[in-house]
């Protein structure tokens, strides 16, 4: 992905910073969610791998620089600026939460410290990368929680916001605890288990349902899932018992899943197919999963699509990327906003996690003041060099499970809004107060 995939104003500012002689100023920006969406007690950080790939490859192609040169906004930019863009690489630092870490409002998900042009330029891409995967991961853990141990597979590529979003939704959902995805590209790119067998059109393309089931069984063997509701669900179930093993089980994709799963289970059991499982799909979300689980519906696994891949009940995350420090000539100036509506805290930060609360402190504070707290934000790039080897998706998923498991249990509630205590360190409060006293109300 090119450096050109950014808001134009990042580039006009780049030209402005260049022209104003600010290329050596080093800015620190903090990426965080301003508030949690309704129905979320925490977020699950995700998107770091794609951010790292982006920063590693950050550059402008010649024709992209030519395009910018052709725009009226750059008519006064000096010729050296375009040469500068051609040579631009990411030379700064990135600090971030490991993917899979639970995170709360106003806690940094990532921190960028770089020459101001670079730090500013990457804003748009980093925001959408972190926001989208974090949003989907945060929805996915709700589905997984609701399923109470039954596997949940992400099935939403067709309704994701673009084919690229489908791949990333599969990744984010898996990281947060889904068992896999239907997206084959996500499977290959990230080593994620992939699932899927056949659609109704498969059944319809054969002369009879029996022919279609038989052909599927021939191909898939023990992995066969008979989709039984193309014509008549109960007849479909009987037909499946007639074909018998090998098969994994059946899929239900319509109607009253509680009632149908019970009836189908009885049919399977009566035929002695006790090991055959029932997989359910049909516009599911965490609330429907919870309902099915409460009703003790004999469903063994779920596919959740549209609602998960779009985070449909909370399809936006109020992520912001705010200037918190600016270094000129080795003097660090702290920056913050003090408006009631959108206030921010100054300075590069660290998060210390304790069993029942977090403390957000300045990164420059002494770690030993926070003994017993787990230090969450880690260096990823230093001086443009990757200093951390990123875990693969299965490792991220395992880490996420343990990190989420360590949270107070109340946070897992689907309905109740449970606040989690995030304290601000005394030194950070002091810094914010002294800035506020000096500047008065500042917006950013």
Q: By CB under 8 A, what part of segment 328-357 binds a second copy?
A: 335, 337, 339, 341-342
Shortest CB 179 distance to a second copy, Å: 13
Q: Which residue has the tokens 């600016």?
A: 326
- CA quadruple 306, 308, 314, 320: dihedral sign: negative
Query: Applying CB under 8 A, which of residues 92, 166, 346, 373 lies at the interface with a second copy?
Result: 166
Decide if residue 152 touches a second copy (CB under 8 A). Answer: no
- Name 411's Cβ contacts closer than 8 Å, sequence gap at least 6: 41, 42, 102, 418, 420
Tokens of 196: 């899927």
- Name 368's Cβ contacts closer than 8 Å, sequence gap at least 6: none
- Rule CB under 8 A: which of 231-260 touch a second copy? 231-232, 254
Q: Which residues pair with 44 in a beta bridge?
A: 102
Cβ proximity to a second copy: between 205 and 364 the closer is 205
Per the CB < 8 A criterion, the answer to whether 325 and 347 are in contact is: yes
Shortest CB 213 distance to a second copy, Å: 11
Per the CB < 8 A criterion, the answer to whether 318 and 109 are in contact is: no
Decide if residue 23 touches a second copy (CB under 8 A). Answer: no
Query: Applying CB under 8 A, which of residues 59, 159, 262, 378 lies at the interface with a second copy?
Result: 159
Decide if residue 4 touches a second copy (CB under 8 A). Answer: yes
Cβ proximity to a second copy: between 200 and 378 the closer is 200
Cβ proximity to a second copy: between 11 and 376 the closer is 11
Query: Residue 400's closest CA among 188, 178, 180, 193?
Result: 178
Q: In 3-state terms, what secondary structure has residue 81?
A: helix
- Rule CB under 8 A: which of 364-403 touch a second copy? none
Q: In 3-state terms, what secondary structure has residue 273?
A: coil
Cβ proximity to a second copy: between 13 and 382 the closer is 13
Q: Which strands form 374-375's sheet, in the order they lie side by side?
A: 374-375, 349-353, 358-362, 422-424
- Rule CB under 8 A: which of 26-65 touch a second copy? 27, 29, 54, 64
Cβ proximity to a second copy: between 337 and 349 the closer is 337
Taking the C-alpha atoms of residue 76 and residue 74, their distance in angstroms, rounded to an integer, is 5
Taking the C-alpha atoms of residue 104 and residue 363, their distance in angstroms, rounded to an integer, is 18
Q: Which residues pair with 152 in a beta bridge?
A: 302
Decide if residue 9 touches a second copy (CB under 8 A). Answer: yes
Query: Applying CB under 8 A, which of residues 86, 161, 242, 357 lies at the interface with a second copy?
Result: 161
* Contact characters 190-229, a second copy, x per CB under 8 A: ----xxxxxxxxx-xxx--------xx-xxxx-x-----x
Decide if residue 287 touches a second copy (CB under 8 A). Answer: no
Cβ proximity to a second copy: between 93 and 229 the closer is 229
Shortest CB 98 distance to a second copy, Å: 21
- Rule CB under 8 A: which of 90-149 touch a second copy? 116, 120, 123-125, 127-129, 131-132, 135
**Phi, psi (rounded to 5 degrees) for 440:** 70, -160
**Phi, psi (rounded to 5 degrees) for 431:** -60, -45
Total interface residues for a second copy by CB under 8 A: 109
Taking the C-alpha atoms of residue 279 and residue 290, their distance in angstroms, rounded to an integer, is 15
- Count other C-beta atoms under 10 Å from residue 59's C-beta: 15
Per the CB < 8 A criterion, the answer to whether 36 and 313 are in contact is: no
Taking the C-alpha atoms of residue 99 and residue 113, their distance in angstroms, rounded to an integer, is 19
Query: Applying CB under 8 A, which of residues 11, 96, 110, 268 lies at the interface with a second copy?
Result: 11
Q: Which residues pair with 362 in a beta bridge?
A: 349
Shortest CB 194 distance to a second copy, Å: 5
Shortest CB 333 distance to a second copy, Å: 9
Cβ proximity to a second copy: between 102 and 170 the closer is 170
Shortest CB 250 distance to a second copy, Å: 14
Q: Which stretch binds a second copy (CB under 8 A): 38-46, 86-94, 184-192, 366-374?
A: 184-192
Decide if residue 73 touches a second copy (CB under 8 A). Answer: yes
Cβ proximity to a second copy: between 219 and 406 the closer is 219
């Amino acid at each position: 992905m090119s450096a050109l995939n950014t808001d134009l104003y990042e580039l006009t500012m780049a030209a402005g910073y260049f022209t104003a002689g600010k290329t050596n100023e080093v800015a620190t920006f903090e990426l965080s969610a301003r508030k949690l969406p309704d129905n979320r007690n925490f977020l699950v950080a995700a998107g770091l791998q794609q951010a790292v790939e982006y920063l590693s490859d950050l550059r402008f192609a010649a024709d992209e620089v030519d395009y910018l040169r052709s725009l009226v906004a750059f008519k006064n930019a000096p010729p050296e600026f375009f040469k500068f863009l051609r040579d631009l690489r990411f030379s700064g630092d990135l600090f971030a939460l490991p993917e899979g870490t639970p995170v709360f409002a106003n806690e940094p998900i990532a921190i960028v410290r770089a020459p101001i042009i670079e730090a500013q330029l990457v804003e748009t891409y980093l925001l959408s990368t972190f926001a989208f995967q974090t949003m989907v991961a945060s929805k996915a853990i709700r589905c997984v929680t609701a399923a109470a141990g039954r596997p949940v597979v992400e099935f939403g590529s067709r309704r994701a916001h673009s084919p690229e979003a489908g791949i990333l939704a599969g990744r984010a959902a898996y990281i947060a605890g889904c068992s896999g995805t239907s997206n084959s590209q996500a499977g290959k790119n990230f080593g994620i288990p992939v699932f899927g067998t056949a659609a109704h059109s498969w059944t319809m393309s054969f002369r009879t349902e029996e022919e279609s089931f038989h052909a599927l069984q021939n191909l898939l063997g023990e992995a066969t899932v008979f989709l039984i509701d193309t014509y008549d669900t109960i007849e479909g179930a009987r037909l499946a018992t007639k074909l018998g093993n090998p098969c994994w089980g059946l899929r239900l994709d319509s109607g009253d899943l509680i009632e149908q799963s019970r009836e189908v289970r009885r049919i399977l059991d009566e035929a002695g197919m006790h090991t055959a499982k029932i997989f359910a799909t049909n516009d599911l979300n965490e609330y429907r999963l919870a309902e099915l689980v409460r009703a003790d519906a004999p469903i063994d696994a779920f596919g959740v699509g549209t609602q998960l891949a779009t985070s449909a009940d909370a399809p936006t995350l109020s992520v912001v990327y705010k200037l918190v420090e600016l270094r000129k000539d080795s003097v660090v100036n702290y920056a913050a906003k003090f408006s009631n509506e959108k206030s921010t805290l100054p300075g590069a930060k660290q998060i210390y996690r304790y069993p029942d609360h977090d403390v957000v402190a300045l990164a420059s504070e002494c770690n030993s003041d926070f003994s017993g707290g787990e230090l969450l934000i880690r260096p990823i790039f230093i001086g443009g060099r990757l200093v951390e080897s990123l875990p693969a998706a299965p490792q991220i998923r395992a880490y996420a499970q343990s990190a989420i498991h360590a949270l107070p249990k109340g946070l897992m509630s689907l309905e109740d809004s449970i606040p989690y205590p995030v304290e601000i360190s005394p030194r950070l409060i002091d810094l914010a107060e002294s800035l506020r006293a000096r500047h008065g109300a500042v917006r950013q």
